[in-house]
Amino acid sequence: MKEAIRQQARTLGFDDCRFTDAASPETVGHFREWLQRHYDGEMAWLARGAAKRADLQRILPGVHSVITLAASYPHNPSESEPAGAAIVARYACGTDYHEVLGERLKRLQAFVAQLGGSDPRSLWYVDTGPILERDLAQRSGLGFIGKHTNLISRRLGNRFLIAEILTTLELEPDPPERNHCGNCARCLQACPTGAITAPFQLDARRCISYLTIELKGPIPVEWRPALGARVFGCDDCLAACPWNRFAQVGRLMAAHARPELASARLVDWLALDEAGFQRLFRGTPLVRAKRRGLLRNVCVALGNVGDAKALPVLERACHDPESLIASHAVWAVEQIQMRLAATPRPGPGPS
């Protein structure tokens, strides 16, 4: 039965498929301590779902097994973007993975139910439910949790999305994966804000992915310069991982890539009204930030890397009806003006 499920998962486009039991994750205590330190910032849903994360029976009574799945996404090996371009985390440069993987998970769930014969119950998740996904993935052998707290596969690197199916079927667990980070600390050194405060410890409040996506209010001034031109997420800790030499691009997510999202000009995005925002980003992960959040981030990025050519569009944004955008545009104008004032002007020519 396991091999049949695994083969069907590959047929649907997943790059790996593993199995584990539904026992309480061993890292529940670590998760609770993380919450007590308030490292979750404004992500209140993490604490609200803490009890379910500790006990899968609260989610699906009678659950016996968890099927874990991986889907690699396209990435830029050079990690370089054109000057003046908006930097978007690579997983977001395509159709929303919730939709792409969700449609396949429904089909795999139906296949599992058909195999079970006795109408087994199941639930699928793709970053959408109160479960400790990475912990289950490590226990199933899908990968190991690295020092940057992301999942790493020795076969896929760390450029992949994960999903799960909880089922009442009894399936033999695969062996767990052990950590293979060794003495490497490149991800800690690569983090622009020092959000990885120690190996395997992330203060989300300082993480650029949190600041540009989950934080709904103003970005703290002290962290704005560290964003550079990043406007949605950050790949720095992932890019630093040496296991990426084995990274592969799966055919499933490659077919849904949107390359234009990885090379757009900051000034073009700042000029978007609500209709333009929806037209450009509908069906992509970037819509999660909403116009107010994404353009807030664009203002910060222009404040960091923009020049005099960015001033006209920023000055218009200073009067945006959305106060969050306007206040960050004012900051950006000030940053550019200070840089211009500090730039030495050419002296007089020869007499």
Active site residues: 127
Please report, for residues 11, 124, 273, 277, 292, the alpha-carbon distance to residue 323 in angstroms, rounded to integers and kept in the order given.
48, 39, 14, 17, 9
- Enumerate long-range contacts of 177-186, CB under 8 Å, 24 or more apart: 177/138, 177/141, 177/142, 177/143, 177/144, 178/144, 179/144, 179/145, 179/146, 180/144, 180/152, 180/154, 180/243, 181/144, 181/146, 181/147, 181/152, 184/147, 184/241, 184/242, 185/147, 186/240, 186/241, 186/242
Amino acid at 19: F
Residue 112 tokens, joined: 């599992």
Q: How far apart are CA 282 and CA 275, in angstroms?
A: 10
∠ at Cα 183 (180, 184), nearest 5°? 80
The b/e string for 321-331 (b: 16+ C-beta within 10 A; e otherwise) is ebebbbebbbb
Closest CA to 142 of 72, 65, 248, 70: 70
**Phi/psi class of residue 88: alpha, beta or left (left: φ > 0; alpha: ψ in -120 to 50)?**
beta
Query: Phi and psi at residue 121, in whole multiples of 5°?
Result: -95, 150
| Contact yes or no for 108/8 (Cβ under 8 A) | yes
Q: How far apart are CA 53 and CA 131, in angstroms?
A: 4
Q: How many CB atoms lie within 10 A of CB 250?
A: 20
Residue 47 tokens, joined: 């604490």
Q: How far apart are CA 117 and CA 49, in angstroms?
A: 32
Q: How far apart are CA 323 and CA 218, in angstroms?
A: 10
Closest CA to 110 of 250, 226, 5, 263: 5
